[in-house]
Structure formats: structure tokens, C-alpha cells
Amino acid sequence: MQLAMARDFVEQFIIILSRLFIFAIFARVIMSWLRIGPRGPIFTFIYEVTEPVLAFFRRYIPPLGGVLDLSPIFAYLAIDIISSLLLRII
């Protein structure tokens, strides 16, 4: 019984964490379209949380035409794949 509850808790934690991170990446994309810089604490937090992951993908995937950054798409796919794998392992 307790093992099942712990498993459910870990599953929910993975799902919520991955969705929050995907939401943060989406918010970062919207901020870049609106040219909102990291001025307030929320924007600074979103930038600091997402930048390491997006920078990783930018190292390997240059912007298309020098303007279109595809790193959020690849980050989303990576997060989705990793969370799915983790959920299957549990």
C-alpha cells in the first residue's frame, strides 16, 4: 500500500515538474516574441530556469536563417521523452 502511494507520488511529481518546465519554456518564447527582458522577479526566474537547457540545444542547433531559434522545440521534445521514460521505469 505505501509503495503504491510512493509510486503515485513520484509519478505525479514527474508529470507536474515536466509540465511546469514546458510552461516556463513556452512563457520564455512568448517573452522573446514580445521583447520582454528579464525585468521582474518572475521573468528573471523563468529566464534563469530555462536558459541552461535552451543554451545546451543552441550549442548544437544554430538558429535558422540567423533568427529562428529552434532550441525550445528540441527542449520540449527532450523533456517529453525523458519524462515518458522515467514514468515507464517507475
User: What residues are paired with 64 via a beta bridge?
Assistant: 68
**pTM reported for the whole predicted model:** 0.86
Residue 43: domain span: 2-89
34, pLDDT greater than 80:
yes
Task: At 54, give phi and psi (nearest 5°).
Answer: -65, -35
How would residue 38 be classed by pLDDT, with cut points 50, 70 and 90?
low
What's the mean pLDDT when you consider all of the chain? 91
DSSP 63: P
| CB-CB contact of 18 with 84 (8 Å) | no
Extract the runs of DSSP E, i.e. beta strands, from the chain: none
| CB-CB contact of 38 with 44 (8 Å) | yes
Q: Number of folded domains in the chain?
A: 1
Instruction: Supply 69's cell numbers.
Output: 531559434
In percent, the amount of the chain with pLDDT more than 70 equals 98
Write the CB contacts of 62 (distance below 8 Å, at least 6 apart in sequence).
none
